[in-house]
Amino acid sequence: MQEPIATPALSPASYAIRGLQDVLTPVLAVYSEFVENNIQVTLRLLGGDGDRWRPHVKTAKLGCIMQQLVASGVTNFKCATTLELRTACRAGARDVLVAYPLQGANALRVREIAAEFSRARVSVLVDSAASVAQWSGSGVGIFVDVNPGMDRTGIASGDHVELQKVMDAVLQARLEFRGIHYYDGHLRQADLRERTAAAHRGYDELLELAASLEKSGTPVREIVTSGTPTLPCALSYARFRGARFEHRVSPGTVVYGDASSIELLPGEYGYRQAVLVVSRVVSHPAPGILTADAGHKAVSADAGVPTCAVLGWPELVPRSPSEEHLPIKVPAGALKPAVGEFLYLLPRHVCPTVNNFDEALIVAKGGITRIERVTARGRETPLLAAVAR
Domain end residue (candidates: 239, 258, 277): 258
Q: Is the pTM of this model over 0.85?
A: yes
Q: 283: domain CATH number?
A: 2.40.37.20
**102: pLDDT strictly greater than 80:** yes
Q: Residue 303's domain spans which residues?
A: 12-29+269-373
Stated length of the chain: 389
Distance CA 318, CA 295 (A): 10
- CB atoms closer than 10 angstroms to residue 210: 22
Tell me, yes or no, whether 207 lies in a domain.
yes
In percent, the amount of the chain with pLDDT more than 70 equals 96
Q: How would residue 263 be classed by pLDDT, with cut points 50, 70 and 90?
A: confident
Tell me, yes or no, whether 1 lies in a domain.
no
Verify that 138 and 247 share a domain, yes or no.
yes
Tell me, yes or no, whether 263 lies in a domain.
no
What is the count of structural domains for the chain?
Answer: 2
179, 219 Cβ separation under 8 angstroms? no
- Residues forming beta bridges with residue 248, ordered by sequence position: 224
Distance CA 206, CA 218 (A): 15
318, 306 Cβ separation under 8 angstroms? yes
Distance CA 76, CA 227 (A): 14
Verify that 289 and 205 share a domain, yes or no.
no
As a whole number of Å, the CA-based R_g of the chain is: 22
Tell me, yes or no, whether 85 lies in a domain.
yes
**pLDDT tens-digit map of 173-205:** 999 999 999 999 999 999 999 999 999 999 999
**pLDDT tens-digit map of 89-98:** 999 999 999 9
